[in-house]
Amino acid sequence: MICTRRSTTISIAMTALAIAVSATAAPDCSQPQPGEALPGGSTTHHKQRNINAFSQSSANMSFENELNFKLGNGIFKKIWVPAPSSTTASDGLGPLYNARACQRCHLKDGRGHPPEANWPEDNAVSMFLRLSIPPQNDAQRQLLESGRAGVIPEPTYGGQLQDLAINGLSGEGRMVINYTETTVSLADGTQVSLRQPEYSVASLSYGPLHPQTMLSPRIAPPMIGLGLLEAVTAADIEALSDPEDLDNDGISGRTNRVWNSLTGQLDLGRFGWKAGNPTLIQQAAGAFNGDMGISTPFVPAAAGDCTTQQADCLIQPNGNTAQQDNAEASEAMVKLVEFYSRNLAPPARPDFDKPEVLKGKMVFHQSGCAACHQPTFSTATRIDMPEQSDQQIWPYTDLLLHDMGKALADNRPEFMASGSEWRTPPLWGIGLTQTVNGHTYFLHDGRARNLLEAILWHGGEAQTSRDHVIKLPVAERTALITFLESL
């Protein structure tokens, strides 16, 4: 068994369609591969794999840029307050919001988690519900078809449910999760319980939801390596796309095409659970506004996600000032957060060459996991991103959309992503989730309580790989998990 990078070449003859499929061979994956110990190339940090493992700057960063990284970290941790306030550089929170700081959701720059219980026993601070409805008229249909919008927001509550509000207002409502346990039997007789979530909203403050409302739960994803993913060329990502499954391998990954608000045109989606954002700056500005209600020059709505049906929300004072570019967070502040996010470095892999890890890597490839969790890329030459320029990286993602089957579907389209498609999440750092965040909840809504459960939820294009794992002997399954925990 050799590790391969999936590559498809299509040639069209003058009189007939000829399809040639080729794979570029890589070294034997039973052995360590060059660069594998450094997931982020030269950006990889070698500090301890402890609770701060996701909060380290790019190891190849210049001394001058370290200041920008620290300033960005300060803004990332900043606690925002309602306007008006004497601290004009920190006011403008809300009026409706999910968190008062970026760090509140991305605790230690890591992975969010579902609540342990429904409100009021617990608060879903690092998880929220996206809201949208199907298009209701020709104008909305045209908006979606043009790609200028990815969804039609719910008319009363907007694009996401904000459960918190400034004094004098009520949060929009509370997410309710009910789990049903189901059992999967592995070939060796092991019984694994999976929890199937069902989502609803209680304590709605502004009237009922639209009857066709689609709910999509999202936990905050980990922050490491984002700049490296932005530095991969669109051509390299698109080369892995095979929407018609022309190579007949059962994998039909495809790109999401999303609206780039800076260029005013469609672009390759890279970030978010459904690859709904093309750039880190757009991702950051959207989070400022949607999650915290903070206006920026990129998303100038001072009332955040308030809708015309929320009159009391729209009349609240805002924190826009000339000093902040007539917004609540200036362009410079957003760009510092972008710089910080871009330079959160993946940690080194000290156990990459251990026999049990190499055995698990073999199982990973034999199971077909690498067909979507593409191990490695080379980043582009980027003068504007010197740390991320010309690096060999090991993120274990193809950044493409894949149909993951009915069980994982949120049934909510986003741009070109269907209700059952998700972007392949990177796996680098996944074994440190417990260390950094104190839990092992995985997938877009944290339903999986460990890595094995996460694998067993895979369906659709990943069904064959999942079934292969079910049939594995205990020793090989254990080695597979050991490999994942080494990443």
For 447-467, how does the pLDDT look when each residue is reduced to its tens digit (9 = 90+)? 999 999 999 999 999 999 999
Query: Which residues lie across from 173 on neighbouring strands?
Result: none
The two tokens of residue 35 are 């660069």
The 10s digit of each residue's pLDDT in 275-313 is 999 999 999 999 999 999 999 999 998 889 999 999 999
Question: Is residue 19 predicted with pLDDT exceeding 60?
Answer: no
CA distances from 148 to 306, 415, 423 (A): 20, 9, 20
Distance CA 171, CA 165 (A): 5
Give residue 7's pLDDT band: very low, low, confident or very high (50, 70, 90). very low
pLDDT of 393 reads 98
Q: What is the residue extent of each domain of the chain?
A: 4-486
Number of Cα atoms under 13 Å in the Cβ half of residue 202: 8
Can you give the pTM of this predicted structure? 0.93
pLDDT of 3 reads 65
The 10s digit of each residue's pLDDT in 80-134 is 999 999 888 899 999 999 999 999 999 999 999 999 999 999 988 899 999 999 9
Distance CA 41, CA 395 (A): 10
Closest CA to 269 of 282, 256, 259: 256
Mean pLDDT in residue range 359-382: 97
| Helix 63-77 vs helix 331-342: crossing angle, to nearest 10 | 110
Closest CA to 176 of 206, 197, 199: 199
